[in-house]
Structure 1
Amino acid sequence: MSGIVIHLPEQGGGAAVTLRLGPGERVRFGRGSARTPIELRLDDESVSRLAGEIRATDDHWQLSNLSATHGYLVENPEGAGEYLRVPPRRVGAPIPFEFSRVVLPSRRETPLSFQVFAPDHVYVDPQAPGGGSWESRTLTAYSLDETATYFLVLVALCEPWLRDRSPVAVPTTPQVVERLSGPGAHPGLTARAVSSHIDYLADEKLRIAATPAADGSDRAGRRNGKREAVVALALKFGIVREEHLALLPPRAEPAERGR
């Protein structure tokens, strides 16, 4: 089982932050100070110096709310409004969602939040017999949730191959955003969110080895290579199939695109 990925979007002109935790590792978050070291800094005066802690376990993650006054929300962006509240001083609250958004109270107009991708949720092979001990059961090699947004992104990346069989190139991130927008589609899906889902698929779900680069000049090439590797593996092992195309929103007609 993999660890967790924590992603803090850009805030106040600062760069985005991505942290990875293995089982048993922890990250403290808050405003921080010289005497209060933290690993995930949240620049907001309404956040405590030491606001909380995230700890990764084998199959989930835990959130400790170290604030004495404020409760925190953990939202499931995939769950149609599903969320749980972690009250002040609650230690080690287990979070069951595979993809979460942690929201802290703030004086800002937009909520202060960061994302957590949970440890890999493991599923029993649907073709395996029901009897026997847990140790004897067969697990799926690639355990993906077909109701999750990251899987929808994966289907959009694979769509040209499944429909045409001979596409010129893998869809770009903006093309995926455009494909998943419109009526009945996933609301508010940005290019940055799509890139995060692709990273999660490549690094955690499909476990594709990263391609090293000598410097940052080849960043675009590595991004394209990651998308191509994700699509190749998903099609090669039948992770995405033609029936999954039904998950995508209806394709816009040419006349509608020109409006």
Structure 2
Amino acid sequence: MNSIIVVPGPTMSPTAQIRLAPGQTLRFGREPGPHSHPHPYGASAGGGGPHTLRVPHAGVSRSAGEIGATATYWSLSNFSRSATYVVENPEGAGEHIKVGPGRLDAPVPFEFARLVLPAGSELLTLDVWAPRHDYADRDAPGETDGEPTVVPFPLDRSSRYFLVLTALCEPRLRGAPHAPLPTVEQVVERLKPSWPTANRAAVQWNIDYLAVKLRLKPGPDTVDPGPRLVGKKETLVSLALRFDLVREQDLAALPAAPTGTAR
């Protein structure tokens, strides 16, 4: 699995995803290139050439910027003469970076991010996923020196996607191995005490991201989004429990269950 996925516009449809392998770029703007797709938020690769994304708004520069993919992060170039772009970490409690006019190849460290483009009186957004973020197993015995081992399923346990995965695994971790999995709506209600803005779309977004992160769907090194994954939640939970990606002690990160709620 390599590099990044760009999800343009308000849709989270897999067909709208633009997948970039290391070394590939995505140029975006009102008229970013000769092979730009004619439809709003359309992307093309122009017969193997650079990817382009048309952002059809009068407040966006014709050639507004470029996203570049590496193996584990992405960079942003701002071609605007006057507009500053902001890259937000949606889980970072306001964490963000600013990329000023003319800045080239600014590295973006967030695993998933929201690129915010000022466009007249509006703010347009693009979501960018970097599922190749790896985490080393520094607790492995005998590996205090030299290169650490990279874990096979790199998960950030402080992230919301891990909280969603934990909530999905909770019934079976609490001693009911054949319990039905919670619905998306039940996960929303379970997490609302610690995540007040949780809603169905946000939880489903994290489930979709986990399917890519845990390699149940093709990575961004392939243009093909793969077939529809039937039973996505069941597959995620089965994988997580089989390989101890979520353990009983991880349940402590969930908000306290309401009184009278089955645990």
TM-score normalised by the shorter chain: which range applies?
Answer: 0.7 to 0.9
Is 1:17 matched with 2:16? yes
1:52 positional shift: 1.1
Match of 2:132 among 99, 111, 120: 120
Q: Which amino acid aligns with 1:237?
A: F
- Report 1:32-47 matches (<5 A): 32=31, 35=34, 37=36, 39-47=52-60
Rounded Cα–Cα distance in structure 2 between residues aligned with 1:133 and 1:237: 26
Is 1:195 matched with 2:204? yes
Q: Secondary structure at the match of 2:203?
A: helix
Q: Percent identity?
A: 46
Greater shift in the superposed pair: 168-177 or 49-58: 168-177
Match of 2:181 among 164, 170, 175: 170
Q: Say what the alpha-carbon RMSD is for the aligned residues.
A: 2.6
Count matched residues: 237
1:231 positional shift: 0.5
Judging changes above 3 Å, is the alpha-carbon distance between structure 1 residues 93 and 146 closer, same or farther for their aligned structure 2 residues? same
In the alignment, structure 1 segments of 5+ residues that lack a partner are: 211-217
2:223 counterpart residue number: none
**Runs of 4+ that moved beyond 4 A:** 33-36
In the alignment, structure 2 segments of 5+ residues that lack a partner are: 37-42, 44-51, 219-226
Q: Which has the higher helix share?
A: 1
Rounded Cα–Cα distance in structure 2 between residues aligned with 1:10 and 1:191: 15
Q: Give TM-score, length-normalised by structure 2.
A: 0.80
1:6 counterpart residue number: 6
The answer to whether the Cα contact below 8 Å between 2:22 and 2:70 also exists between their aligned partners in 1 is yes
Q: Give TM-score, length-normalised by structure 1.
A: 0.81
1:144 counterpart residue number: 155
Judging changes above 3 Å, is the alpha-carbon distance between structure 1 residues 57 and 119 closer, same or farther for their aligned structure 2 residues? farther
Greater shift in the superposed pair: 67-76 or 159-168: 159-168
Is 1:247 matched with 2:246? no
Rounded Cα–Cα distance in structure 1 between residues aligned with 2:207 and 2:191: 14
1:151 positional shift: 0.7
Is 1:101 matched with 2:114? yes
Match of 2:239 among 216, 230, 233: 233
- Report 1:199-238 matches (<5 A): 199-203=208-212, 205-209=213-217, 222-223=229-230, 225-238=231-244
